[in-house]
Structure 1
Amino acid sequence: MKYAGGTIDEGAVKAAGGQVLPDGSGVRVGGWNISTGHGPITADADLEKLKDGLGTLAAPEQFYGANFLRLRHDATGTVVSFTALDALKGWLQDKSERVRVGESDDWLASRREDVEQHAAQTLEYDWTFTTSYAGSLERDGASSSSGGDGSSSSGSAAAPPAAAAADGGNDGSSAAAGAQAAAQGGSAAGPLPKWQASSEQIPRALLTSRDPILFYDELPLYESELDDHGSSRVSLKMRVMPRCWYVLLRFWLRVDRVMVRLRETRLFCQFDGPSAGAVVLREVKYHEGTFEALRAAGAPAEGPAYADADTAAQALLAVAPVGELCTSAPPPPAPANGFGVQSLGELKRVQTETVDWGYYRFGNASSPRPPLLLIPGFGSTVSAWPLDFLARLAADQEVVMVDNRGQGFTQDLDPTARLSIPGLANDTMEFVRALGLDQVTAVAGSAGGLEATPPSDLATAVLTSPNSTEVQHLALGYALDTPAGVQAACDYGAATHSTVQSPSNNTTTGQQLAAILNYLIFDDSVWELLPVVDNEVLLVVGREDQVVPADNSRAMATRLQRPWLVLLEGGHAAFLQHQPVFLQVLDAFLTT
């Protein structure tokens, strides 16, 4: 039956031990009070007041200010809610790269008078109304609007008293990680729950079961036709079943002839699970790409496949996600096979014409995957790779870990030779051939990525940003102005302190710097050749990276044929700060 709040099966609600709310706005079941509200598009006069209150000159022309979804856990007073206003605030806070095409210039030109009259010194509008909004948490008047993050991951926010006081990290998103929010413990006056990383997954089998749907609703929050240049929309769907509730929130963007962007947030709560309805799982996925890049990756060409969020979601499943992840997570348990410092074995050596290589080779040699070749970055050696990180890599494939020419265990047999980036890349591939390997997956840190240039010898490439172990570099590797960054830096220092000790060579480091600067300033050949690289390339960078800004990787992703772009909260060593998420993304990348 159609009620004020959506479609409710009153008989099924009663059979599940629940009840329809007196005003017909929703149901009470499983310890949750779930309601929705509908209203017309906000009137122009009210929308102008809203814009004034937010300090913005722009807003979507179709704004559903009265629409909402509210899910309240009765035992604790914890509320998960979704509103158009909070979604729009998420747009104002979003840090996504602006879509800079002719259409945006048209959009700004049409508002030139407003812009010139505005008192602000700098005005920059995201005319696509992109939002990272992933819902809001409330309890006793305290509220928190949370943004998402990226490439496909799940998270969980737990809030028993002890966990609620702990730092929950950043709101999570990844390709297969999780965030969970527990509403259990404490009282309605307790602390606001925080989203924390979790390995739990939303049980798809339960969602596809034949259980009756007690309550179903769909709500638009805001929409814009982008002045006839495309479409932007935030909407949600929700359903309540006898054993669970489920919410799907989507931001969908299509800029005609340019690109498509889809951000999905899923929330799930199971009433009859071990937590008895007191834990909410959240999963956030980001997909985006230009139509040209998506077509090259195997997705459909621009057209009906991207007509709306539902069809776009199906089309984007055909290609690797270009995602943004930001989460923090506890490390997964160490692999049962126990790869560790002892299992690295003895240092091995092999010679090519001008280099005597010192390397380690260990891990799962029976894996069908190509070996991972770990290439250190500028001034770094094999000591930069933490042991727990190596152990988890070694569980699923063979790992080869080597020092660059003239660094650590690797000796330069021609010390008079001048280092160059093309030369270092050639050295690396000669090393691979000397080991008798046909192809490898290069996992290159920071400047080590410059060496992974001959694509014919690579199965795939993973370009990341590890840092050296010197304390003075930790401020660049980790955001030391945040508790999470400080803890990550401490953990990294402890992890690398016990690894193999391969000291860097200051003379070689200076030569590396000269080679890097010469290459970056005078050689743009690789930039020009990026479009012909048909390897899959995974780019993993920190949003706050001060060494290699994230915009560099965004630019690379637009040039590569088959990119995966993942942005993590943190600095130059963000992928080590978020090891579990990185390892999950890496596994998905290598499996695909």
Structure 2
Amino acid sequence: MTETEQTSADIKKFPVNREEHAFPPWTVSYEQSHILHSKCPKEGGCDPNDETNLCAFCTYSKKVHLPQLPDMVFPKNILRIRNSNGCELNFNPLDALVLVKDGPMNIEIACAGAWKESRQDSGYLGRMIKPFDWTFTTEYKGTLLGNWKVEETCERIDVEKLKEKKSILFYHDLTLFEDELHDNGCAVCSVKIRVMPSEFFILLRFFLRIDNVLIRMNDTRIYHDFETNYLLREFTSKQGMVQDLKVPPYVLTDPNIVSTHLSSVTASYEKISFP
């Protein structure tokens, strides 16, 4: 398919890679497909009042109240974990981007103006450029559907137990969205899951690197022991100014390593119970 044909076709019609596995009473599945177009593929645009027939681009335009979107958004990328009782936990880019703040942020770099200027010709809503969080920082922790009960807890995920050598029944890694910050770093939101014989573990991560300025990581870890009727969800937000980190340059590009050098900003611990 040529670039012109891709631009004129709705992503909803593109092939989707799907996979589903049953681990009773759980079913784990994912979908994966093409990146979001930079404008509506329909001549004249979609009817904003007809939500059932909106293309993927117009759906994002309507629901994400930002003047711009990241360079790469994968609207069909979604990870789902369903229980036989109807409860579902999923991870999708739309819900993640809805939580990005539509307002000025307190971190600016020399190229920020050029970065915004370079996007003025994109078709995203045709809005005027206004202050917003151009790092696309999100505190998204996943989407809960069904009869879940969420409460604070003192119980913690047993990290040492996760380090034990176990067979991996299923593993997958999905990128939800990504932006290169006008070649001055990166902002990536991704989710990965691994299922073992007695448990599953999910890591949802937003990683931000502004070159020579800042590193930020928002991590959501979700753990479930199949012998219990609840999930543990831990959210941590860390960051550090690059000038204060005093680490070799290669460390700044590796989220797993640089995480240990960042300062904690906030954290929350929840027990998510299901019937």
What is the TM-score normalised by the length of structure 2?
0.77
- Cα gap change, 1:63 to 1:113, in 2 (>3 Å): closer
User: 1:324 matched to which residue of 2?
Assistant: 266
User: 2:69 matched to which residue of 1?
Assistant: 59
The offset of 1:98, in angstroms, is 3.6
Distance in 1 (CA, whole Å) between partners of 2:240 and 2:111 is 17
Distance in 1 (CA, whole Å) between partners of 2:121 and 2:188 is 27
User: 1:355 matched to which residue of 2?
Assistant: none
The offset of 1:27, in angstroms, is 1.6
The offset of 1:99, in angstroms, is 2.0
Task: Judge conservation of contact 2:104–2:132 (CA < 8 Å) in 1.
Answer: no
The offset of 1:26, in angstroms, is 2.2
Which one has the bigger helix percentage?
1
Q: Is residue 246 of structure 2 the alignment partner of residue 291 of structure 1?
A: no
Distance in 2 (CA, whole Å) between partners of 1:112 and 1:28 is 46
Q: Is residue 138 of structure 2 the alignment partner of residue 136 of structure 1?
A: no
Stretches of structure 1 lacking an aligned partner (at least 5 in a row) = 1-22, 140-191, 330-592
- Cα gap change, 1:113 to 1:210, in 2 (>3 Å): closer
User: 1:70 matched to which residue of 2?
Assistant: 80
Distance in 2 (CA, whole Å) between partners of 1:281 and 1:32 is 16
Task: Judge conservation of contact 1:232–1:253 (CA < 8 Å) in 2.
Answer: yes
User: 2:23 matched to which residue of 1?
Assistant: 29
Task: Judge conservation of contact 1:41–1:63 (CA < 8 Å) in 2.
Answer: yes
The offset of 1:306, in angstroms, is 1.7
Supply the AA of the counterpart residue of 2:265: G
- Cα gap change, 1:96 to 1:235, in 2 (>3 Å): farther
Report SS of the residue matched to 1:44: coil
Distance in 1 (CA, whole Å) between partners of 2:200 and 2:104 is 30
User: 1:208 matched to which residue of 2?
Assistant: 163
The offset of 1:133, in angstroms, is 0.6
Match of 2:33 among 35, 39, 43: 39
Identity within the alignment, %: 27
Could you say which structure has the greater relative contact order, defined with CA pairs below 8 angstroms and 6 or more residues apart? 2
Task: Judge conservation of contact 1:99–1:128 (CA < 8 Å) in 2.
Answer: no
- Cα gap change, 1:248 to 1:96, in 2 (>3 Å): farther
Distance in 1 (CA, whole Å) between partners of 2:218 and 2:105 is 14
Which one has the bigger strand percentage?
2
User: 1:501 matched to which residue of 2?
Assistant: none
Task: Judge conservation of contact 2:18–2:30 (CA < 8 Å) in 1.
Answer: no
Task: Judge conservation of contact 1:130–1:251 (CA < 8 Å) in 2.
Answer: yes
Post-superposition CA distance 1:247-298 (Å, at most 9, x none): 00110011111111111110011002xx2xx201011111111101222xxx
User: 2:230 matched to which residue of 1?
Assistant: 279
Q: Is residue 83 of structure 2 the alignment partner of residue 89 of structure 1?
A: no
Q: Is residue 272 of structure 2 the alignment partner of residue 264 of structure 1?
A: no
Supply the AA of the counterpart residue of 1:71: I
Task: Judge conservation of contact 1:30–1:243 (CA < 8 Å) in 2.
Answer: no
- Cα gap change, 1:198 to 1:326, in 2 (>3 Å): closer
Post-superposition CA distance 1:174-228 (Å, at most 9, x none): xxxxxxxxxxxxxxxxxx4343211111122332233211111010000111111
Distance in 2 (CA, whole Å) between partners of 1:217 and 1:326 is 25
- Cα gap change, 1:109 to 1:257, in 2 (>3 Å): same
Task: Judge conservation of contact 1:60–1:223 (CA < 8 Å) in 2.
Answer: yes
Report SS of the residue matched to 2:135: coil
Report SS of the residue matched to 1:105: helix
Distance in 1 (CA, whole Å) between partners of 2:165 and 2:261 is 28
Distance in 2 (CA, whole Å) between partners of 1:312 and 1:222 is 16
The offset of 1:324, in angstroms, is 2.1
Match of 1:224 among 176, 179, 183: 179
User: 1:197 matched to which residue of 2?
Assistant: 152
Q: Is residue 258 of structure 2 the alignment partner of residue 312 of structure 1?
A: no
The offset of 1:96, in angstroms, is 9.4
Report SS of the residue matched to 2:142: strand
Distance in 1 (CA, whole Å) between partners of 2:104 and 2:20 is 35
The offset of 1:111, in angstroms, is 4.9
Match of 1:125 among 115, 122, 132: 132
Post-superposition CA distance 1:35-70 (Å, at most 9, x none): 111112123335642442134320011111111111
Distance in 2 (CA, whole Å) between partners of 1:214 and 1:133 is 27
Supply the AA of the counterpart residue of 1:254: R
Q: Is residue 100 of structure 2 the alignment partner of residue 100 of structure 1?
A: no
Stretches of structure 2 lacking an aligned partner (at least 5 in a row) = 1-16, 41-55
Post-superposition CA distance 1:426-464 (Å, at most 9, x none): xxxxxxxxxxxxxxxxxxxxxxxxxxxxxxxxxxxxxxx
Q: Is residue 58 of structure 2 the alignment partner of residue 49 of structure 1?
A: yes
Distance in 2 (CA, whole Å) between partners of 1:286 and 1:259 is 13
Task: Judge conservation of contact 2:234–2:270 (CA < 8 Å) in 1.
Answer: no
Task: Judge conservation of contact 1:249–1:266 (CA < 8 Å) in 2.
Answer: yes
Aligned length: 237
Task: Judge conservation of contact 1:64–1:222 (CA < 8 Å) in 2.
Answer: yes
User: 1:509 matched to which residue of 2?
Assistant: none
Measured on the aligned residues, the alpha-carbon RMSD in Å equals 2.8
